[in-house]
């Protein structure tokens, strides 16, 4: 990328015109956000692709140059540095919009990146409103994905639109991309990079309370398999419950989390738990009157700033192995650790 400073009109009049273009269309922005929230774009669902197609239409309506492509999943997922996925997809799409600059070959390029996929809603009965029926109350908009991060995407889109509508011409290209798969590994952004899109700087309007976040912890998804011996519950002492054998492993993971968070670097010390280790799913047994012979737990390991992913993985594997050595059954039938799904380095 060229390192020369772009010749952008930064006069007070130019800045005011851009800001006014935002302020004049607040209601339109809110309506657009509501439309996006109505799309139940849960990671891995068909609606995830619908959200990307909707973003492509929004880009075209605003006169941007649009690159809307089907992601070659077989090629992308086979790459050695692919960060992984937690849900299977048979089809996935990407999109980039471009507002051309006056001197794109010599000036710098700025990219806005926002994901439109959301996590499952859990129990809808615990919601005060339908998750995908956006409601406004007391100056807030409620709905799944409104905060993380469809509102941020709309804000980025309106930043691009405000520049276009104001008539201010930037020197470099202004790019905006809508991505899927952020919640389970980063497929969308990875595929955008594989497509060849690059910029000198990137702004990701995640919900940070408007704090600038120049660094982030990593996160590694893991799967733990704990073996047991099945038998009828009336003779449970003749079997080995995988659930009971998971208990000391769960305690060991808690101790590991405490140790890994004992002395966080200064930039991470503001958080009560900078590098969480969390178990998200547990599956064991298939019959109430049987002793389960297998427990499968899936979780997320936080990676410290500047910590290699290999070191973080080894830390968890060693903690599990040590806990197994302390148990007579697990010593001979140790639990296994598998790294799957999203694998994010710190940065």
> Do 48 and 116 meet the contact criterion of CB atoms below 8 Å apart?
yes
Tokens describing residue 80: 């050695």
Taking phi over 0 as left and psi of -120 to 50 as alpha, with beta for the rest, 118 belongs to beta
Q: What CA–CA distance (Å, rounded) separates 156 from 205? A: 7
Which one is catalytic: 117, 161, 173, 315? Answer: 117
- Cβ-Cβ contacts under 8 Å for 124 (sequence gap 6 or more): 130, 131
Q: In the numeric block, which tokens belong to residue 77?
A: 């997922």
**How many angstroms separate the CA atoms of 309 and 60, rounded?**
40
Among 91, 80, 84, CA closest to 223: 84
Q: Is 136 helix (H, G, I), strand (E, B) or coil?
A: strand
Residue 332 appears among annotated catalytic residues: no
Considering 182, 184, 257, 293, which one is annotated as catalytic?
A: 182
Q: What are phi and psi of 153, to 5 degrees?
A: -65, -45
Half-sphere exposure of 328 (CA within 13 A, CB side): 1
Tell the residue number behind the tokens 């799904």, with chain if given.
341
Distance CA 15, CA 8 (A): 11
Burial letters 114-128, b for 16+ CB under 10 A, else e? bbbbbeebeeeeeee
Please, are residues 314 and 251 in contact by the beta-carbon 8 Å criterion? no
Catalytic status, residue 182: yes
Query: How does 168-191 read in b/e, with b if 16+ C-beta sit within 10 Å?
Result: bbbbbbbbbbbbbbbbbbbbbbbb
Do residues 176 and 109 touch, judged by C-beta distance below 8 A? no
Which residues are catalytically annotated?
A: 117, 182
């Amino acid at each position: 990328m060229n390192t020369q400073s772009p010749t952008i009109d930064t006069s007070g009049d130019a800045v005011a015109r851009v800001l006014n273009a935002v302020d004049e269309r607040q209601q339109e922005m809110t309506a657009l956000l509501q439309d996006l929230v109505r799309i139940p774009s849960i990671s891995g669902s068909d609606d995830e692709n619908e959200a990307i197609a909707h973003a492509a239409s929004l880009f075209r309506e605003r006169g941007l140059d649009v690159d809307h492509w089907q992601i070659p999943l077989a090629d992308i997922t086979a790459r050695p540095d692919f960060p992984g996925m937690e849900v299977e997809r048979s089809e996935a799409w990407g999109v980039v919009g471009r507002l051309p600059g006056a001197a794109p070959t010599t000036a710098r390029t700025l990219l806005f990146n926002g994901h439109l996929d959301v996590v499952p809603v859990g129990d809808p009965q615990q919601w005060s409103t339908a998750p995908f029926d956006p409601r406004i109350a007391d100056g807030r908009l409620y709905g799944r994905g409104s905060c993380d991060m469809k509102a941020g995407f709309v804000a980025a889109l309106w930043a691009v639109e405000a520049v276009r509508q104001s008539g201010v011409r930037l020197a470099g290209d202004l790019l905006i991309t809508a991505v899927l798969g952020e919640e389970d590994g980063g497929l969308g952004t990875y595929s955008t990079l594989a497509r060849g899109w690059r910029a000198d700087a990137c702004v990701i309007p995640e919900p940070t309370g408007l704090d600038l976040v120049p660094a982030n912890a990593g996160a590694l998804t893991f799967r733990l398999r704990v073996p047991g011996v099945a038998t009828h519950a009336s003779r449970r002492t003749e079997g080995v419950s995988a659930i009971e054998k998971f208990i000391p492993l769960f305690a060991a993971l808690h101790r590991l989390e405490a140790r890994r968070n004992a002395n966080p670097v200064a930039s991470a010390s503001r958080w009560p738990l900078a590098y969480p280790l969390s178990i998200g799913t547990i599956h064991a047994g298939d019959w109430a009157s049987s002793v389960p012979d297998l427990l499968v737990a899936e979780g997320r390991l936080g990676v410290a700033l500047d910590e290699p992913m290999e070191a973080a993985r080894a830390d968890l594997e060693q903690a599990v192995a040590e806990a197994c050595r302390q148990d007579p059954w697990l010593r001979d039938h140790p639990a296994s650790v598998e790294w799957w799904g999203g694998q994010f380095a710190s940065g």
